[in-house]
Structures are given as C-alpha cells and as structure tokens.
C-alpha cells in the first residue's frame, strides 16, 4: 500500500508541469501476476495517467499469456477504460488487445524483442472526439532491446513504437504516431518487479499537438 501511494503521489506531483505546445504526463501501473497452468500466466493491473488537470485516464486490465516457444509468447488482454475528453468529461470504453511477443538473445545478456499488437475498442458511450491511437482501433509495432548488466540490479531497455490506423476515412490507412522510450527494469529481491522509463511520442501530420513527454513507473507482485 505504501508503494502504491508513492506511485500515485509521484504521478500527481509530476503532472503539475506543463507547457502550451508540449504535454507532460506521469503514468503509474500497479499489478499482480501468477501461473494458470504450465507455460500460461495471468496478470491483473491498474494503470493511471496524470496530466496537469489530474487523472486523465484510468484503466484496470486483465491478461493471459502463453509461452508457445522460448522466443514467442502470444497474449490477449481486456481493458476497461475511463478517459477524460477535451470537454473535461469522463467517458468509458472497452478494449481488447491481441499481442504477438517475440524475444531472442542475440548475444550474451543482450535481448532483441518485438511486440505486434492489434487493439480493438468497442461500446464507447458517445462518439469519439477524434481518433486516438492509444485507445482506438490500431496496429502497433514495438521493437526494443534490453541488456542484463552482470552483477547489477538494473536491466536497461530501449524501444520505439509505431501506430497504424487501419480504419477507412481521411486519417485512416496510415501510420498515425510514433513513440520512443528509454528506461530500466529493476531486479528486486523476492516476488517484486519494478521498472521506470521516460518516453515521448508525437502524432504524424499534427504539429499543433506538440510532443507528449511521459515519466512512467510500474510495480508488479508475482504470486
């Protein structure tokens, strides 16, 4: 509970920073995970995203992941989303993520990974104000690398992500946004997992929105 309160406090504190063109946010994630059967894991977590007006987005999520191969883990997730729109009102929606997770050790301690995700949002109450690649229908391609430093609790990570809008329409059938992140996983004693990262993302062909800067922290307890 103390760690959860610390993450929430950090999110609220950092979210007080802001500028007119760029956007600054703090994301927190707290979850638990365990085994269903051999090679199959479950997870349950709650994420909050803070901006200079407080909580911008809140969503609990449950997921199942299966280790099909050492280098391939497909997964599926359900997410219930409560998101604040540009008018200050909160709207709810549901989302399904279908993921193909690939990971391979290319040299000793250096892993190369790729996540391909299809996400589908449904049953939104009220029509979306504008297309949002974070929450609406999209294909997402996320390559990344990580390095396990010998004798250290830190495992640095570097990743990028590209969002593709598959819908028909003026903004459809094209890549809509990119994201870049750098951070580290922290190998804590016992069943605890912790990570922190900085990321920024930018919409293509939308200069007025500026760049979004995010400090994200997450904690997971493994049963």
What are the tens digits of pLDDT across the range 147-159? 999 999 999 999 9
Domains detected in the chain: 2-222 (2.40.160.40)
Residues lower than pLDDT 70 in the chain: 1-20, 124-129
Q: Give the separation between CA 44 and CA 20, rounded to whole angstroms.
A: 35
Answering whether pTM is above 0.85, one says yes
């Amino acid at each position: 509970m103390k760690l959860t309160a610390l993450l929430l406090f950090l999110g609220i504190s950092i979210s007080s920073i802001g500028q007119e063109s760029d956007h600054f946010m703090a994301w927190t994630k707290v979850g638990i995970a365990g085994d269903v059967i051999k090679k199959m894991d479950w997870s349950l977590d709650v994420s909050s995203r803070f901006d200079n007006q407080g909580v911008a987005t809140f969503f609990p999520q449950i997921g199942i992941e299966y280790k099909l191969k050492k280098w391939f883990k497909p997964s599926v997730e359900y997410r219930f989303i409560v998101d604040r729109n540009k008018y200050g009102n909160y709207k709810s929606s549901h989302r399904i993520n279908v993921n193909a997770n690939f990971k391979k050790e290319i040299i000793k301690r250096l892993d190369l990974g790729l996540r391909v995700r299809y996400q589908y949002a449904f049953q939104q109450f009220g029509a979306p104000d504008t297309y949002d690649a974070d929450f609406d229908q999209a294909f997402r391609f996320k390559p990344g690398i990580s390095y396990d430093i010998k004798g250290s609790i830190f495992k640095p990570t570097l990743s990028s992500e590209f969002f593709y809008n598959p819908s028909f329409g003026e903004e459809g059938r094209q890549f809509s946004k990119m994201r870049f992140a750098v951070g580290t996983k922290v190998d804590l004693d016992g069943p605890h997992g912790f990570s922190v990262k900085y990321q920024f993302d930018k919409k293509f062909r939308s200069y007025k929105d500026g760049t979004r800067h995010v400090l994200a922290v997450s904690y997971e307890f493994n049963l």
